[in-house]
Each structure stands twice: as structure tokens, then as C-alpha cells.
């Protein structure tokens, strides 16, 4: 029997409802945080061991990445960050769309 399922190439391939970059971020955060917890010696602050807190923060990077890239791919966020971080030079010049101004409109004269 032939598979007649339509192939949607515009959608990103998903596994467990996550794109591959999101799934890798989740797994990497989980693996790094658990390994870091097991490799670190106890860090006592007062009477508390803060290894668990450090591991939870590192492990939360995966789900946070998934939430930030929920509706957009990671490439979109790279362009957003580049827009705010990179230096931009705006060269003044003629208006690219001169039709947007109302040239035939009668304007009111205001007296001061």
C-alpha cells in the first residue's frame, strides 16, 4: 500500500511536537545540568547546598529557549538580535515612496 500522506515542506520537521533545535536544546539542558550536579562538590551557602539551584537554572535554559522560539525559528531570533546589536548606518536620500504624502489636500492655516 502506497503512502499518500501529503508532504508539507514549508513546516519544520517536528518530533514530540518540538522542532529539532528545540528538542536538542531541551536534551542538552537536561544532560548538562544533571552531569554538572553529579560532578560538582557540595557548595554550602549557610546551611544550604546550592548545587541543585545552579543545576535547575542551567536545566531551565532548554525550556526557556523553546518558549522564545515557539512561533519563530532560531534564525528569526538571530536576525532580531543582529538588528539591535549590530551597528547600522542610515544614509539619507530621496523618499523611496513619494506617493504616500497627500499633495492635493487643502491644509488649514493656523494663526498664532
Q: Concatenated DSSP letters for the chain?
A: --------SSSPPEETTEEHHHHHHHHHHHHHHHHHHHHSPP-EETTEETHHHHHHHHHTHHHHHHHHTSSS-HHHHHHHHHHHHS---PPP-S-S-GGGS-SSPPPPPPP-
pLDDT band of residue 26 (cuts 50, 70, 90) is: very high
Residue 76 has pLDDT above 70, yes or no: yes
- Can you give the pLDDT at residue 14? 72
Q: Is residue 102 part of a domain?
A: no
Q: Is residue 105 part of a domain?
A: no
Q: Is residue 76 part of a domain?
A: yes
Q: Is residue 9 part of a domain?
A: no
Q: Is residue 98 part of a domain?
A: no
Query: In the chain, how many domains are there?
Result: 1
- Regarding predicted confidence, which is higher, 7 or 107? 107
Q: Is residue 97 part of a domain?
A: no
- Regarding predicted confidence, which is higher, 57 or 17? 57
- Can you give the pLDDT at residue 59? 94
Q: Is residue 101 part of a domain?
A: no
- State which residues form the domain around 20: 14-86
Q: Is the pTM of this model over 0.85?
A: no
Amino acid at each position: 500500500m502506497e503512502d499518500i500522506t501529503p508532504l508539507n515542506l514549508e513546516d519544520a520537521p517536528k518530533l514530540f511536537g518540538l522542532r529539532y533545535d528545540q528538542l536538542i536544546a531541551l536534551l542538552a539542558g537536561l544532560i548538562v545540568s544533571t552531569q554538572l550536579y553529579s560532578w560538582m562538590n557540595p557548595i554550602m551557602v549557610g546551611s544550604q547546598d546550592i548545587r541543585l539551584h545552579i543545576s535547575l537554572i542551567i536545566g531551565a535554559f532548554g525550556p526557556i529557549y523553546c518558549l522564545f522560539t515557539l512561533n519563530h525559528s532560531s534564525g528569526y531570533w538571530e536576525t532580531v538580535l543582529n538588528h539591535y546589536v549590530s551597528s547600522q548606518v542610515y544614509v539619507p536620500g530621496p523618499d523611496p515612496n513619494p506617493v504616500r504624502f497627500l499633495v492635493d489636500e487643502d491644509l488649514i492655516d493656523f494663526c498664532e
